[in-house]
Amino acid sequence: MSLEINFAGIRSPNPFWLASGPPTNTLGQAVRALEAGWGGVVWKTIGEPVVNTVSRYGGLDRGREKLIGFNNIELISDRPAEVNLREMAEAKRRFPRHAVIASLMVESRREAWHEIVKRAEDTGCDGLELNFGCPHGMSERGMGAAVGQVPEYTEMITAWVKEAARTPVIVKLTPNITDVARLAEAAARGGADAISLINTINSIIGVNLDTLEPLPTVGGLGTHGGYCGPAVKPIALNMVAACAQKVKIPICGIGGIATWRDAAEFIALGAGTVQVCTAVMHYGFRIVEDLCDGLEQYLQRRGLAGVDQLRGVVTPRITDWGHLDLNYKIVARIDARKCIGCHLCYIACEDGAHQCIEPNLGPGMERAQLHPRVSYPAGMRVPRVREDECVGCNLCALVCPVEGCIEMARVENGLPFESWSQRQAKGCGTS
């Protein structure tokens, strides 16, 4: 099978593109990435050269896991536009079958956009990505998120670009807004051929409690930056799905993608291709081998001929809360063969959920490991679930350290499907 895709008229050998950012700042990086197997590169955003701060990245760790979240206050490319454009043309010359996309950001004037579009397309690039999402530095200058947070501006500038563009135009959306689907619709009205999302989220990554300085620190001061990495993936998935339900143009998914599973989830919710940045900054270009191998094997296991057959299959299953079945019932069931007697399920249920798990203290269990306010009876070490009181919230299964030890099993209760909306309708006499 082939992972080859056609995204809004842009062809690439696989759906894995490098997102506009530090890994796509030079020809050398682009060459190494495409040689490693990436399907395309979105060049680091080109515009008027900027001066970046020296300290610019911050990370969020959890235990031994590094960089579950990543923050940056870096701006667009600090190299002259002519240098970037010359190198972009060379990258496309060397890799004609791969996607080379120009990411653009200039001041909000029609003439400025027309000029940069012509210069970018003269490189032979396959498409243009309009950066309407940078949440810091450029937004303070009336660009980036300052444009992307206003649907009217998004539509207007997209229309300006389409007046001059010969190649497909992708609008990159900011997540720093209440309803991202409104921006997607505005981009579509402006004539965008596709959208990409999400850009980074406004954030302060942390505080150094020894020096009492915000992170990252520049001479003792700090500023809000753009948040990305694995921790933003759920937010990105939600926004991709919301846009997929509102617009018909292709969607490129971005945000926390580090494994083939992450990519498959974005595709299943409506993305036609995906972009990766933070994972490459953490692990290097070679991760694309695992991304391609994993996605290809997954598609084969499911009997799918290509990426397009997975795209959007889950989108129709996303609905409003009011349409969910209130009569659906599941309960927690603990597998005694796998239980290690840690009683985390009991503690979580007792203090944080619905008090439906009873502890059991087996031989050798230290009472200090269990709940401090409970008198534990002797007996089996496996906690017991009172199924008649279990509300099926999933918390016990989520905190359990043993995979597959707690099953959330469906209970057939003989009740028909009934949603909140249906109950409201009955109450109003309109069912």
Question: How confident is residue 301, by pLDDT bands cut at 50, 70 and 90?
Answer: very high
Strand bridging mode 5-7 / 40-42? unpaired
Residue-range domains of the chain with CATH: 5-317 (3.20.20.70), 322-426 (3.30.70.20)
pLDDT band at 265 (very low <50, low <70, confident <90, very high): very high
3-state SS, 300-345, equals HHCCCCCHHHCCCCCHHHCCCHHHCECCCCEEEEECCCCCCCCCHH
- Least confident span in 33-42, 103-112, 370-379: 370-379
Tokens 């016990």 correspond to 396
Mean pLDDT of 14-23: 97
DSSP 357: E
Following DSSP, what letter does each residue of 159-174 receive, concatenated? HHHHHH-SS-EEEEPP
Amino acid at site 310: L
Position 371 pLDDT exceeds 90: no
- Residue 372 above 60 pLDDT? no
Pairing of strands 99-104, 127-131: parallel
Check pLDDT > 70 for residue 142: yes
Q: List pLDDT tens digits, range 83-97.
A: 999 999 999 999 999
Q: Using pLDDT thresholds of 50, 70 and 90, give the confidence band for residue 377.
A: very low
Neighbours of 347 (CB within 10 A): 20
**Which position has the higher pLDDT, 255 or 359?**
255
Q: What's the whole-number mean pLDDT along residues 291-313?
A: 97
Q: Residue 314: is its pLDDT beyond 50?
A: yes
Cβ count near 261 (within 10 Å) = 12
Position 148 scores a pLDDT of 87
- How much is the mean pLDDT over the chain? 93
CB atoms within 10 A of CB 212: 8
d(CA 16, CA 263): 8
For 75, counting Cβ atoms within 10 Å of its Cβ (0-12 exposed, 13-18 middle, 19+ buried), the class is buried
Closest C-alpha among 107, 95, 126, 182 to residue 7: 126
Tell me which H or E stretch contains 100. Answer: strand 99-104
Residue 373 has pLDDT above 70, yes or no: no
- Mean pLDDT for 111-118 is 97
> Residue 75 corresponds to which tokens in the numbers above?
């701006």
- Identify the active-site residue in 134, 292, 356, 390: 134
Is 134 designated active site?
yes
